[in-house]
């Protein structure tokens, strides 16, 4: 469909106020941790590639793009050389990328220096992969950043676009970022270079940090029910925040995006599948039970789950291992944010009074923080199950090293009796350090009195020297999200 040039220019001018010498309205001064990486790829790209911000709806991708435009303008880039466009807008979607660029250049003649194209919701651009490939290969004078709310943006044109873009995967706000966006004045916690630093702490360090962290616990629980979406984090009412979250997920993602991007017709069955996953967050996926309860065939259910993962609503974890055993095993499902299940299931703040639900929400939040921390390092995440059905919730494989995490978010202090799976995994795989995520702030510090390894499993010094650190969930999530935290754990 043809869009008039005048109408197209009028729409573009609304999204690019700097062409008129105006500032970007209501742009927050606070920036997400990913801003530095995005800015580096735009200003001094390490390789001749575009950069893609990939993540769910309403997690701040647009704000990051506009903050990048603002930073470029402050650095002296001519306003005429910066274009922001969102293909979520019907006029721009109908016009297409080439017509948009032509209208831009008629409205704003090019100035000296590189051109910067900031393209929002690029999955609505026809043949986007081929277009990006051509731009990267033949337009060295252009630097391109684009966003997408669906993984097919990465996968559908992977063959044509391989090596043409660098992906920055955004999760919902970390607990650290949530506190920053809320502008809360809390006691400053000590900084860590890595989690390993905790093994060098003295008892006084743990006591002092426990006192400081007491102010964080209530905000952590509020974070679990509000969610890590910038909009819901800043809404005063929890009920209103959850309503907005529910509408964004059910109405915009399940009912609109799934139809527009993937041609889903059985939207009600898809919604029921997602509700089932909300009821089983953090658990092993039983496809037989799901299909029986929802009365759908296995290929249909499998396709729905893949689509929910593609739109960043869920994560799937395979069991630790390789080969046929893993292929036949059940996946573990985590929602993209701990607040999604309470919002969708209309539970409000009731999970704070339900020990089981609160433990599930905490485990989901812990996984999200670990995923966000390690994703850029191409870390493999899994869960582990031993021969005696002992389990470990999360295992991160970082640079060949296994780092296990067990979540025990309950009132009782954690002892070795509750950690049979973690101890078994550490000794079986000769893992030097493991971590237990706890609830009580005084359930913090190195585990004492670990049982001696069995005679048949103790030929190695590393096996006997396993150390386990207990970390309260608010502290772990804070440190995993802290901007200053460097690589490694």
Could you please report the per-residue DSSP string of 27-89?
--S---TTHHHHHHHHHS-SSS-EEEEE--TTSSHHHHHHHHHHHHHHTT--GGGEEEEETTS
The answer to whether residue 442 is domain-embedded is: yes
Using CA atoms, how far apart are residues 395 and 380, in angstroms rounded to an integer?
Answer: 8
Clarify whether residues 225 and 149 are in a common domain. no
169 burial type by CB count under 10 A (0-12 exposed, 13-18 middle, 19+ buried): middle
Spans of the chain, pLDDT less than 70: 1, 150-162, 322-328, 449-465, 483-489
Clarify whether residues 445 and 307 are in a common domain. yes
Clarify whether residues 81 and 213 are in a common domain. no
DSSP code per residue over 187-230: PPPPP-SSGGGGGG--HHHHHHHHHHHGGGHHHHHHHHHH-S-H
Give me the number of domains the chain comprises: 2
The answer to whether residue 213 is domain-embedded is: yes
Residue 225, domain extent: 176-481
Tokens of 143: 């630097």
Phi, psi (rounded to 5 degrees) for 453: -65, 150
Clarify whether residues 73 and 192 are in a common domain. no
Using CA atoms, how far apart are residues 380 and 399, in angstroms rounded to an integer?
Answer: 10
pLDDT of 157 reads 47
CB 31 within 8 A of CB 67: yes
Using CA atoms, how far apart are residues 233 and 227, in angstroms rounded to an integer?
Answer: 7
Using CA atoms, how far apart are residues 141 and 366, in angstroms rounded to an integer?
Answer: 42
Q: Which of 386, 450, 437, 458 is nearest to 198 (CA)?
A: 437
pLDDT of 449 reads 60
Positive/negative CA dihedral, 358, 364, 370, 372: negative
Half-sphere exposure of 46 (CA within 13 A, CB side): 7
DSSP state of 351: G
Using CA atoms, how far apart are residues 120 and 136, in angstroms rounded to an integer?
Answer: 18
The answer to whether residue 434 is domain-embedded is: yes
Clarify whether residues 234 and 311 are in a common domain. yes
The answer to whether residue 78 is domain-embedded is: yes
Residue 404 bridge partners (DSSP): 395
Pairing assessment for the beta strands 50-54 and 165-169 based on DSSP bridges: parallel
Q: At a CB cut-off of 8 Å and minimum separation 6, what does 240 contact?
A: none
Q: Look up the CATH number of the domain holding residue 156.
A: 3.40.50.300
Clarify whether residues 314 and 349 are in a common domain. yes
pLDDT of 150 reads 67
Q: Which of 394, 366, 460 is nearest to 175 (CA)?
A: 366
Clarify whether residues 438 and 469 are in a common domain. yes
The answer to whether residue 29 is domain-embedded is: yes
Clarify whether residues 86 and 192 are in a common domain. no
Clarify whether residues 198 and 131 are in a common domain. no
The answer to whether residue 107 is domain-embedded is: yes
- Which among 170, 194, 210 is the end of a domain? 170
Clarify whether residues 196 and 126 are in a common domain. no
The answer to whether residue 15 is domain-embedded is: yes
Clarify whether residues 320 and 458 are in a common domain. yes
pLDDT of 153 reads 47
pLDDT of 452 reads 58
- Which among 170, 202, 223 is the end of a domain? 170
Using CA atoms, how far apart are residues 288 and 330, in angstroms rounded to an integer?
Answer: 11
The answer to whether the predicted template modeling score (pTM) of the entire model surpasses 0.85 is yes
CB 408 within 8 A of CB 438: yes
- Which among 170, 200, 226 is the end of a domain? 170
Residue 142 bridge partners (DSSP): 115
Helices marked H in 264-396? 267-279, 287-294, 298-310, 324-328, 340-344, 355-374
Clarify whether residues 13 and 31 are in a common domain. yes
pLDDT of 461 reads 38
Q: Which of 232, 425, 449 is nearest to 338 (CA)?
A: 232
């Amino acid at each position: 469909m043809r869009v008039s040039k005048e109408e197209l220019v009028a729409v573009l001018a609304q999204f690019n106020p700097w062409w008129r010498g105006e500032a970007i309205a209501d742009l927050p001064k606070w920036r997400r941790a990913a801003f530095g990486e995005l800015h580096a790829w735009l200003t001094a790209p390490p390789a001749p590639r575009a950069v893609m911000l990939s993540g769910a709806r309403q997690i701040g991708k647009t704000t990051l793009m506009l903050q990048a435009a603002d930073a470029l303008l402050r650095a002296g880039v001519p306003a005429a050389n910066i274009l922001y466009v969102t293909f979520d807008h019907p006029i721009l979607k109908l016009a297409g990328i080439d017509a948009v660029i032509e209208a831009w250049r008629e409205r704003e003649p090019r100035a000296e220096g590189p051109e910067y194209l900031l393209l929002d919701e690029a999955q609505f651009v026809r043949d986007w992969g081929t277009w990006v490939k051509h731009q990267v290969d033949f337009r060295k004078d252009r630097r391109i950043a684009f966003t997408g709310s669906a993984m097919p943006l990465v996968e559908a044109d992977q063959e044509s676009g391989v090596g043409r873009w660098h992906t920055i995967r955004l999760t919902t706000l970390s607990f650290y970022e949530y506190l920053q966006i809320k502008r809360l004045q809390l006691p400053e916690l000590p900084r860590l270079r890595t989690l390993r630093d905790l093994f060098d702490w003295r008892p006084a360090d743990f006591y002092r940090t426990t006192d400081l962290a007491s102010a964080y616990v209530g905000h952590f629980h509020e974070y679990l029910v509000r969610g890590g979406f910038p909009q819901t984090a800043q809404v005063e009412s929890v009920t209103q925040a959850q309503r907005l979250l529910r509408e964004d997920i059910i109405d915009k993602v399940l009912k609109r995006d799934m139809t527009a991007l993937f041609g889903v017709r059985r939207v009600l069955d898809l919604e029921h599948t997602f509700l089932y996953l909300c009821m089983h967050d953090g658990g092993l996926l039983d496809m037989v039970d799901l299909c029986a309860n929802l009365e759908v065939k296995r290929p249909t259910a499998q396709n729905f789950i893949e689509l929910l993962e593609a739109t960043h609503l869920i994560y799937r974890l395979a069991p630790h291992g390789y080969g046929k055993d893993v292929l036949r095993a059940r996946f573990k499902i985590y929602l993209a944010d701990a607040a999604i299940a309470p919002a969708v299931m209309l539970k409000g703040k009731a999970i704070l009074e339900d020990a089981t639900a609160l433990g599930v929400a905490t485990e989901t939040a812990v996984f999200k923080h670990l995923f966000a921390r390690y994703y850029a390092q191409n870390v493999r995440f899994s869960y582990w199950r031993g021969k005696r059905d002992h389990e470990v919730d999360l295992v991160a494989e970082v640079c060949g090293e296994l780092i296990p995490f067990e979540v025990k978010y309950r009132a009782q202090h954690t002892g070795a009796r509750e950690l049979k799976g973690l101890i078994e995994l550490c000794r079986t795989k000769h893992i030097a350090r493991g971590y237990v995520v706890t609830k009580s702030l005084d359930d913090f510090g190195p585990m004492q009195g670990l049982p001696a390894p069995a005679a048949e499993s103790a030929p190695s010094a590393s096996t006997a020297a396993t150390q386990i650190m207990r970390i309260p969930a608010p502290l772990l999530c804070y440190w995993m999200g802290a901007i200053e935290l460097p690589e490694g754990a």
